[in-house]
Amino acid sequence: MVEVKVPQVGESISEVQIGQWLKQEGDWVAAGDDLVDIETEKASVQVPAPEAGFLRNIRVPADEFAAVGDTIAEIEPAPQPAGGSTAPPSAPAATPERAAAPEPARGAEPAPTPAPHRAAESNGAEEPIVMPAAQRLLSEHGLRAEQVPASGPGGRLLKEDVVAFVGAGGAAAAPSAPAPAGGGLVAAASGASLVTAGSQRGEEVKPMSMIRRTIAARLVEAQQTAALLTTFNEVDMGPVMELRKKYKDVFVEKHGVKLGFMSFFAKAVVEALRRFPAVNAEIRGNHVVYRHYYDIGIAIGGGKGLVVPVVRNVEQMSFADIERAIADYGRAAAENRINPQDLEGGTFTISNGGVYGSLLSTPIVNPPQSGILGLHAIQDRPMAVNGQVVIRPMMYLALTYDHRIVDGREAVSFLRTIKETIEDPARLFLEV
């Protein structure tokens, strides 16, 4: 057997969380095929098969933790079966002898459950071997293993079987217990709240993902170590929207990427950071470090949560370069392919809660940075323009900054620079 071990994924990383197993136990895999997603404190990576053969003995199920170097599965070296079948050459058959294995003595310590386990028997018939991911789905939908047709090797019940069964309209069997009297209501004790007999009041406990734990720790660190303050303004998005509408087709034809709002804000942020360098600086001990480069973190919602990949040297990039970089990061985040080095560094961050419908928020600075710009939803609102009330597409802007290094005057002026640049995009090209 060839062991599949947790690889070294970073100098400071000693523990990972097992994500989704991409192959099932018993599948034949080629050397280099991705077997499982693992999550680190910074990103998700895939573990490839070290050798071609059948995947055996998955030791660590999804959502559990493992140390770097731990063996999480084994591969039985073998050539690919004829006809491309992924079934093992000699899958263990279900036999009466296996079904009649003696039960442990009453009070004895139960044996550890292997990754694939056999469901409880009923009416003397042997149940299918249930894979861990399938068992979780069965529990979520209130199903029993015998209700779902199994298609895996050796009669294994796979996650895909449960998904297909539920998608085809399969439902849990109706409970046979008689309904309590009293109009279908149950009272636990005198004065207790009444609960309908069919209500779901269960709880589910899941381990916090590695990425979520890191995000939580950094946000708490920011709140505890920095003097955070937020200032607000609003911007008329009409000029940028008109510019995008006028040139969107030509832009896509020439550059192969859509012209979005984020490139305008990234350019506006660079201009504002040039004028107010303290917002681009950081505190190191008793010193202030002023950076003369502009690496902008762009907050992106990914498959495992919010990530902030960094677009580096934005001051040297064109609108098309920025849009391509953001689009590439967006696809990588959706597929959990963000690399740890993509998240490192950054001198300032832009977070767009408007894509989720947020009207106003107070974003939290990503330490050791000193500022973050929050963008929000665009809404038509009545505005006074040249003595007339007109309807304009308006967006609220929020700048959260570290008051230890950035004064209120600088913060307000910084945000006003963003507003003036977006409301008159020609400034980006004329450098005024």
What residues are annotated to the active site?
403, 407
Measured distance CA(330)–CA(336) in Å, rounded: 10
Look at residue 179 and give its three-state secondary structure. Answer: coil
Please say whether the beta carbons of 326 and 296 come within 8 A. no
Residue 96: CB atoms within 10 A of its CB come to: 8
With residues binned 3-state (H G I as helix, E B as strand, rest as coil), the percentages for the chain, rounded to 5, are 30, 25, 45
Give first-to-last CA distance, the chain, whole Å.
68
Backbone dihedral angles phi then psi of residue 414, each to the nearest 5 degrees: -60, -50
Q: Which stretch of DSSP H or E encloses residue 271? A: helix 261-275
Q: Which two tokens stand for residue 299?
A: 């907050």
Closest CA to 373 of 260, 226, 272: 272
Q: Token pair for residue 112?
A: 């550890």
Strands 296-298 and 228-236: unpaired
Distance CA 359, CA 381 (A): 12
**Which residue do the tokens 């590695």 mark?**
210
Q: Which residue has the tokens 């149950």?
A: 186
- Which residues are paired to 86 by β-bridges? none
Bond before 309 cis per omega within 30 degrees = no
User: Can you tell me which residue has the tokens 């980006």?
Assistant: 428
The CA distance from 197 to 237, in Å, is 53
Cα–Cα distance measured from residue 368 to residue 346, given in angstroms and rounded to the nearest whole number: 9
The order of strands in the sheet holding 388-402 is 228-236, 388-402, 371-385, 348-352, 296-298, 310-311
Residue 24 DSSP one-character state: -
Place of tokens 């002023």: 290
Give residue for tokens 């950094």. 218
